[in-house]
Amino acid sequence: MSVMSLSVIGLGKLGSPFAAVMAAKGFNVIGIDKNKKFVTAINNGIAPVPEPQLQEYIRKGKSRLSATMAMDEAVLNSDISFIIVPTPSGKDGTFNNAYVLDAIKEMGPAIAKKKSRHIIVVTSTVMPGSSDTVIRAVIEKHTGKIVGDTVGYCYNPEFIALGSVVADMLDPDFILIGESDARSGKIIGDIYKKTCGKDTVLHRMNCVNAELTKISINTFVTAKISYANMLTDICERLPGADIDVVTAAVGADSRIGKKYLKGGVAYGGPCFPRDNIALSMMARKLGARVDLSFATDRINDYQTERLVKRIEKMFPSGAHIGIAGMSYKPNTPVIERSAGVALAAALIREGYKVFITDPLAAKPAKEALKGKVTIISDIKMLSAKVDMLLVMTPLNEYRVLSARSLGKRKNPLVIIDCWRIFDQGSFGKKATVLALGRGDSFVHIKSKKG
């Protein structure tokens, strides 16, 4: 296959890594964004957003990577356009396609001018049925061409997670392609075989099946997380029970698998919560039963309440509580629907003094919490200022905490280790480590609230 030129519309958290990876793998890539800072950063060889490996891949692809704010320039100088823009949740819980449609409307006149066939690829998550209805109609109206004939279209969502976007793009479990026509689907598939390897698994299908597959995978994962957290709650009530031992064995069954089957805190982020809600709302409109999705949400929401109850049992209102980890997962500044922020907000409402630390997400978390928390620079300093410490994300930076680093304390520190990163006995008399999902940690706890 000859080298193709790609345009990437949207240079945010997913678009800039996608553009960098494609350029590093040999494609000519031109990015488009309305944010001048993002465009300038790409043209200067600088990562516009924080993401592991992004700077490295921008450097690798620098000679083939550029950016502009001019849609015409990008479309006229590329063969394929990947649209990677937000599709935020609407009031009814389903996804709003406005940014996707705006991008298509803006690129339409340039595609209309082209004699060569152009392929439009929507990577943003959309509701099932969108591609064959509203998206197709807008493409045909604004390009004057017929989808599947004179203009190609594919729905090609990514399965990646913030904090590991580049790694996930380079080594995907599979590539999902919804295609308007076989010719377009093959071209997109060939691009990924060059990017990810010739043995990359492709699942090509019509657009509505691809749309349903994308949202189904994410919602299945949320159910798996909530199931693990349900088991965690059970384990804490049984002497000798250990969630990690249980899930390791359960996950060894090939019908279940180990991924995401780990007891911890509530899931969050920009995808999982909203995808589960969106599928529920869509199914309800169709008249389908989605009891499992609603139960998944209820269990997830309960995780914050469960932690608050643990804290209230041991410390009265006014106590100093430390939270290590404010992002929804490690290695990202994103706090959207994060368990750490949700817990902090709940504790503030109950009158606790909350102190937080996070290498990337502390400032946005404090802003979201309206300044009602105190930021501490690292976990060692945080542990010196609080009565109880909760580890909400399993960051390697937090593993440095030790008995020696705790220094002299009037009272032992109580640590709720949500991800079991500490040895329960390693702190001696300086700290009591309570590991979520381990019955021996919690069944004998007596209330200190007074």
What is the percentage of the chain residues whose pLDDT exceeds 90?
Answer: 89
Please report where in the chains the tokens 């015409």 appear, as a residue: 72
Average pLDDT over residues 150-168: 94
Average pLDDT over residues 160-172: 93
- pLDDT, tens digit, 9 for 90 and up, residues 429-445: 999 999 999 998 776 66
Separation CA 15–CA 48 (nearest Å):
10
Rg value, the chain, Cα: 24
Domain membership of residue 39 as a residue range: 5-205
Separation CA 278–CA 269 (nearest Å):
15
Of 205, 239, 266, which residue is a domain's last? 205
3-state secondary structure 19-58: HHHHHHCCCEEEEECCCHHHHHHHHCCCCCCCCCCHHHHH
Residue 196 and residue 300 share a domain: no
Average pLDDT over residues 276-300: 93
Encoding tokens for residue 411?
């009272």
Alpha-carbon dihedral sign for residues 189, 193, 195, 201? positive
Residue 261 has pLDDT above 50, yes or no: yes
- pLDDT, tens digit, 9 for 90 and up, residues 38-75: 999 999 999 999 999 999 999 999 999 999 999 999 99
The crossing angle, in degrees rounded to 10, of helices 15-24 and 182-196 is 70
Residue 277 and residue 289 share a domain: yes
pLDDT at 2: 60
Separation CA 17–CA 54 (nearest Å):
6
Separation CA 279–CA 282 (nearest Å):
5
Give exposure, 159-181, as e/b (b: 16+ Cβ within 10 Å): bbbbbbbbebbbebeebbbbbbe
Residue 125 has pLDDT above 80, yes or no: yes
Residue 435 and residue 348 share a domain: yes
| CATH code for the domain in which residue 214 is found | 3.40.50.720
Residue 338 and residue 233 share a domain: yes
How many domains would you assign to the chain? 2
pLDDT at 444: 60
Residue 446 has pLDDT above 80, yes or no: no
Separation CA 354–CA 432 (nearest Å):
19
pLDDT band at 313 (very low <50, low <70, confident <90, very high): very high
Average pLDDT over residues 163-170: 94
Residue 216 and residue 165 share a domain: no
Return the SS3 of 68: strand
pLDDT band at 1 (very low <50, low <70, confident <90, very high): very low
Residue type, 391: V
Residue 146 and residue 251 share a domain: no
Q: Are 175 and 192 in contact (CB under 8 A)?
A: yes
pLDDT band at 90 (very low <50, low <70, confident <90, very high): confident
pLDDT at 450: 43
pLDDT at 408: 83
Residue 94 and residue 47 share a domain: yes
Residue 428 has pLDDT above 50, yes or no: yes
Of 159, 182, 205, which residue is a domain's last? 205
What is the percentage of the chain residues whose pLDDT exceeds 70?
Answer: 98
For residue 105, report the phi and psi dihedrals to the nearest 5 degrees.
Answer: -60, -40
Residue 432 and residue 384 share a domain: yes
Encoding tokens for residue 365?
């978390």
| Mean pLDDT computed over every residue of the chain | 94
Residue 221 and residue 199 share a domain: no
Note the helical H segments in 53-174. 54-60, 71-76, 98-113, 136-143, 165-170
Average pLDDT over residues 321-335: 95
Nearest alpha carbon to residue 343 among 307, 293, 388, 397: 307
pLDDT at 386: 97
Residue 76 and residue 152 share a domain: yes
pLDDT at 67: 98
Residue 242 and residue 161 share a domain: no
Ramachandran region of residue 260, left (φ > 0), alpha (ψ -120 to 50) or beta? left
Of 205, 238, 260, which residue is a domain's last? 205
| Cα distances (Å, whole numbers) of residue 393 to 23, 102, 109, 342, 375 | 33, 37, 47, 13, 16
Residue 189 and residue 270 share a domain: no
Pairing of strands 151-155, 175-179: antiparallel
pLDDT at 30: 98
pLDDT at 303: 97
